[in-house]
Structure 1
């Protein structure tokens, strides 16, 4: 499995992501007796906060580079594994893991283009009446940047929409998927969130937009696309003091295994 993630890039350009995960962590309301899976733990920053609230936390992520960084940060009882979120049930059975009281996920599920498969995996690893508490990109998330990436690829003869690695569902669509795959939805909502970037749009694109940039043949082409999108977005998304912002739209979900 090719690893396109860079823990160092993430730390430089996107450290705001785990910092803004505290809202959904509060919704989880982890108990000292609970065993919890952090689905898409990334560099482990948020996982370490979770580890202070529960009995056991296991973090999984598809990126070996991110898991390596998480293991460096590890303190206490957290453990980490490289695992594909689309194959969670296989990993769970192969590792002979004990069922979890809850599955927690922050800023991950929009990367899984087969959402029903991911939901079934989460259902599989939970105890009866266990809960899934997640926040991820929903309908219109980062819409201006997403559209600019697709348009830039289309101009260069690629199918920009097909290149997109993201799945940004509405509340209605995701509720149907949850209910069709064994969950009772307790709450689900789309929440717009203006988000200040660590650096600029180019830094965000190199960290998260690699699926688009990797199809370009030369570094010059990649730099041209970055500059093109920066200039397209600059009039509205760069503040007077030079800071850059993106309008995130997060889908927040609490659901229980039937």
Structure 2
């Protein structure tokens, strides 16, 4: 590594629908339990926050529920529209809805919103629900991808890049998020931290699965490096993680921890 100054890059994570479909589909595949907790019913009006390319939105709509998906990524929404879903572009902390939905659902999206924006987001979600409506979600929780984050922070520190700050992620403890939900007016039925070691799929064209994960889920940080430094940083991060997350059979397992909750208005 040359330890050059970081390059200017757009703030935050940038989503590529094709790359996500190839390397991140496991996120939707592992959402069966939180969808079961939602228990969508035919005719219900449901808002799917951070719907992405619509893989889960489509599953929920198949129950007969009337689903609206929202996301802040135009690329992801374009992919969702190819599924003939009703989706809109907006940020979770600026939802325009007023008492329109029986339920609000979110999977693996809320943790991409920086912590200071969550009170506004929860106020928007509360306002979007009909009285008695439910909010069911799963997001990264305390300890999520701790090894990956620690390795990446160590590798990027010589470049004067704070990997945690630039990832703009929020992984709260259950007690912390319960207080936030209650402050927004919700009654919390359940909130649990769920360790979920997650096997990573093979990368495209034989790419290392962990390198592929980093390029998919941490591009908002890695894009701040010059191309040569980025390649070296990924290689160093992968090397640091091998003794922890890589087994002798050649499999990578990411140290995911989920926070799953159900609350009502």
Q: Is the 8 A contact 1:197 1:244 kept in 2?
A: yes
Select which of 251, 259, 263 maps to 1:255.
263
Task: Give the drift of 1:133.
Answer: 0.1
Select which of 210, 213, 216 maps to 1:207.
216
Q: Is the 8 A contact 1:34 1:55 kept in 2?
A: yes
Query: Which residue number corresponds to residue 102 of structure 1?
Result: 103
Whole-angstrom CA distance in 1 between matches of 2:108 and 2:196? 13
Residue segments in structure 1 that go unaligned for 5+ positions in a row: none
Task: Give the drift of 1:83.
Answer: 1.2
Task: Give the drift of 1:158.
Answer: 2.2
Matches within 5 A, 1:71-220: 71-74=81-84, 78-88=85-95, 91-92=96-97, 99-113=100-114, 114-199=117-202, 200-216=209-225, 218-220=226-228
Task: Give the drift of 1:147.
Answer: 1.2
Whole-angstrom CA distance in 2 between matches of 1:46 and 1:244? 25
Select which of 3, 27, 30 maps to 1:17.
27
Whole-angstrom CA distance in 1 between matches of 2:94 and 2:201? 32
Whole-angstrom CA distance in 2 between matches of 1:69 and 1:212? 24
Q: Is the 8 A contact 2:16 2:76 kept in 1?
A: yes
Q: Deviations over 1:87-132 (max 9, x none)?
A: 11xx336xxxx60000000000001111111111110100011100
**TM-score, normalization: structure 1?**
0.92
4+ residue runs of structure 1 moved beyond 6 angstroms? none
Whole-angstrom CA distance in 2 between matches of 1:30 and 1:158? 43
Q: Deviations over 1:221-257 (max 9, x none)?
A: 1101110011111122122222211111000010001
Question: After the TM superposition, which of the residue ranges 236-245 and 20-29 deviates more from structure 2?
Answer: 236-245
Residue segments in structure 2 that go unaligned for 5+ positions in a row: 1-9, 203-208
The answer to whether structure 1 residue 246 and structure 2 residue 254 are counterparts is: yes
Task: Give the drift of 1:146.
Answer: 1.1
Query: Which residue number corresponds to residue 241 of structure 2?
Result: 233
Q: Is the 8 A contact 1:106 1:134 kept in 2?
A: yes
Q: CA RMSD in A?
A: 1.5
Whole-angstrom CA distance in 2 between matches of 1:33 and 1:12? 32
Task: Give the drift of 1:150.
Answer: 1.6
Q: Is the 8 A contact 2:149 2:163 kept in 1?
A: no
Matched residue SS, 1:92: coil
Whole-angstrom CA distance in 1 between matches of 2:64 and 2:104? 12
The answer to whether structure 1 residue 48 and structure 2 residue 58 are counterparts is: yes
Matched residue SS, 2:258: strand
Q: Is the 8 A contact 1:36 1:54 kept in 2?
A: no
Matched residue SS, 1:73: coil
**TM-score, normalization: structure 2?**
0.89
Q: Deviations over 1:151-197 (max 9, x none)?
A: 22212222333223110000000000000111000000000001011
